[in-house]
A and B are shown apart, each in its own frame.
Chain A
Amino acid sequence: MPRCWINRGLPPAFFVYILACMTGEVIRARAALTAGVRSFFTGKNYLEVETPLLAPALIPEAAIEVFKTRFEHPYRAGRDLYLTPSPELWMKRLIAGGMGNIFQICKAFRNAEALGRLHNPEFTILEYYTVNADCRDSLELTQELFAHLVKVCEEAPGVFAGAALRERLARLAPPFRRMSMAQAFGQYAGLDLEEFCPREPAAAPEAARRLSARARGLGLPAGEGDAWEEAFNRVFAGVVEPALPRDKPLALTCYPRGVRCLAKDVPGTPWNERWELYACGMEIANCFTEEADAEKIAAYFREEAPLKEKALVPHAIDGDFTSLYAHREKAPGRARDSSGNLFGASQKIAAYGPAAAEGLPRAADAPKSADTSGVAVGLDRLFMAFLGEEAIGGVILFPFSDIIAPHS
């Protein structure tokens, strides 16, 4: 376990010794896996990009707290800046600019997250965007990535030593399990989620009351006044997530629209085109078919932005981001551009219909998507799974809990 020893008052030479002896194996394995991720994407002609970690304004996400800092100009006024909680805001600009398939490995920063087995406020994120693709395509791609990384481990057994290696890799190898949220709720909470999803926004408070009442019936401490998303989260975190199967990676698909995000809706259903990947009981990746409807994105901003005012660290809202999408209305011709079609009209979605609720099947004759799909992977957690580490501090050098706040 690469634990940091500097806070134990040990001399630097001893620290170097510890690094060389105790953690060398994990450091080398991590480097090999990172190289494996790079070679996978470059081999598929994804362009590696590097975008700023400092941004003057961010996409509003109510559940994420950010780090605020400041640029000081020696002679003029300075300005507040924020460390990006993900490179999404920049990478989508590149997609809109026609960059084609891109990927990035960088640091992401999330403030006010309690430290523990799964969190480090500064972590490594992998994001990849595929044009002319939807979240089904991204799921196939992610399976290929896992297969590639399994191969990396198998081909360098010295680096990935350990008796349990083979067993561990077998649990990570594709194919992934797939399960829709509705199936998971039916199986583990015994409730028909669709029945509890509001059909229109005006029905949300009533649906929230019904779902909260059901949550209390399951023994969960749901409040009377919980919003729909809160009630949903209580049931999901309380009884569904702990029961999810762990023998294989699991793609949990078709999130309810009541969980607000920038994923596209599945028409005619209460779901959206989103999946999250679980491996070894950890949430490892999040994927959308990216919403491209300017009005829906503006509505998301209108709903999320006021919530940020109540955040511990309020931040400026990236107003330019919405205008990227508004541009589409003015230049419809561009939407057919095959190289940069974040704004492309979806001709494909009708091919799925309501069946999409059953875990994202693909119609055999479905035309190629005109959408863009993005995936964000918590790379440290992915490495935990591949290296069999139980805590995030086991795969990062100088974990936050050791260097900053040993007692929190």
Chain B
Amino acid sequence: MIKAGAIDKGMCLLMKNAPYLVVEREFVSPGKGSAFVRLKLKSLTTGQTLQETIKTNDSVEEAQVADRNAQFMYADATDYHFMDTENYEQFAVPREGMEDKQYYLQEGHTYYVTEWEGKFIEVKIPYKIVLTVTEAQEALKGDTVTGATKTVVLETGLSIRVPIFIKQGEKVMINTESNEYVERVNS
């Protein structure tokens, strides 16, 4: 058990017998009163998010989770397949509840896969990743509006809005939390 005031972003908590990832943490002491911590939690079993406000001196339980460093191999209809980079053991992570991960997982790249009570419940995607543009329309001539954007499709199938100068075959960095374009990457 730890005090709620010691909770930090990225921790895993056990609430109502289920593991939750701390996505956001903010301290508030309303009206010069006692201190609270406001948490945005993501269920590691259902993917749903919830907000909790608890007193900083309330006790909470940390979920006993372990992260495995693993290389992504391929996805099939039901699972994502990984290989542990330490012992080369292969394992499958069910897609259910993590369907959106398919847009960020790149074959051959390594990720942290979170294990809780023998189940793989989360694949941690880096905050920023670089993906290749596979489908992009040519910008219309004469379209000189500042900040004009267009939609392109990336190698993983993800569609995002990018500035009009981005061409097919180029690499772009994206923010995986907001699905926003960050910058063009020169390879």
Chain A residues with CB under 8 Å of chain B are 61, 63-64, 113-119, 220-221, 229-230, 233-234, 236-238, 241-242, 255, 259, 261, 276, 283, 286
Contacts and interface: CB of A to CB of B under 8 A. Distances in A.
B168 interface: no
Contacts of B26: 116-118
Contacts of B38: 237, 242
B145 to A, nearest CB: 14
A27 B57 CA distance: 37
Interface of B: 5, 25-38, 51, 53-56, 58
Contacts of A238: 53
Nearest to A229: B33
A237 B53 contact: yes
Given A114-B37, A118-B26, A237-B36, A242 B31 contact: no
Contacts of A115: 27
11 contacts: A64-B32, A113-B35, A114-B37, A116-B25, A116-B26, A234-B55, A237-B28, A237-B53, A242-B51, A259-B31, A259-B33
B36 A116 contact: no
A220 B51 CA distance: 11
Contacts of A64: 32
B36 A233 contact: yes
B31 A276 contact: yes
A119 B25 CA distance: 13
Nearest to A85: B32
Nearest to A64: B32
Given A114-B37, A237-B53, A63 B27 contact: no
Given A114-B56, A241-B28, 6 more contacts: A114-B27, A116-B26, A236-B31, A237-B28, A237-B36, A259-B33
Given A114-B56, A221-B54, A233-B36, A286 B31 contact: yes
Counting chain A CB atoms within 10 Å of each CB, which of B32, B35, B56 scores highest? B32
A61 B35 contact: no
Contacts of B28: 118, 237, 241, 283
Given A221-B58, A234-B55, A238-B53, A113 B31 contact: no
A119 B27 CA distance: 8
**Sorted from nearest, which 10 A-B pairs have the closest CB atoms?**
A114-B27, A237-B36, A238-B53, A116-B27, A233-B33, A237-B53, A237-B30, A63-B33, A63-B34, A117-B26
B43 to A, nearest CB: 16
A318 to B, nearest CB: 17
A259 B37 CA distance: 19
A259 B51 CA distance: 25
A357 B6 CA distance: 38
A230 B33 CA distance: 9
Contacts of B30: 233, 236-237, 241, 283
A255 B31 contact: yes
Contacts of B51: 242
Contact of A118 (B27, B32, B33, B58): B27
Nearest to A114: B27
Given A221-B54, A237-B53, A114 B35 contact: yes
Contacts of A114: 5, 27, 35, 37, 56
B105 to A, nearest CB: 29
Contacts of A237: 28, 30, 36, 38, 53
Name, among A113, A221, A237, A241, the residue most crowded by chain B CB atoms within 10 Å (CB to CB).
A237
A61 B35 CA distance: 13
A283 B58 CA distance: 23
A391 B53 CA distance: 19
A185 B36 CA distance: 18
Nearest to A252: B31
A286 B31 CA distance: 8
A234 B56 CA distance: 11
A28 B31 CA distance: 31
Contacts of A113: 27, 29, 35
A278 to B, nearest CB: 10
A394 to B, nearest CB: 15
A64 B5 CA distance: 15
Contacts of B5: 114
A121 B38 CA distance: 19
B16 to A, nearest CB: 11
B32 A63 contact: yes
A23 B16 CA distance: 45
A220 B53 CA distance: 8
B29 A63 contact: yes
B69 to A, nearest CB: 23
A219 B116 CA distance: 26
A283 to B, nearest CB: 7
B176 to A, nearest CB: 19
B54 A61 contact: no
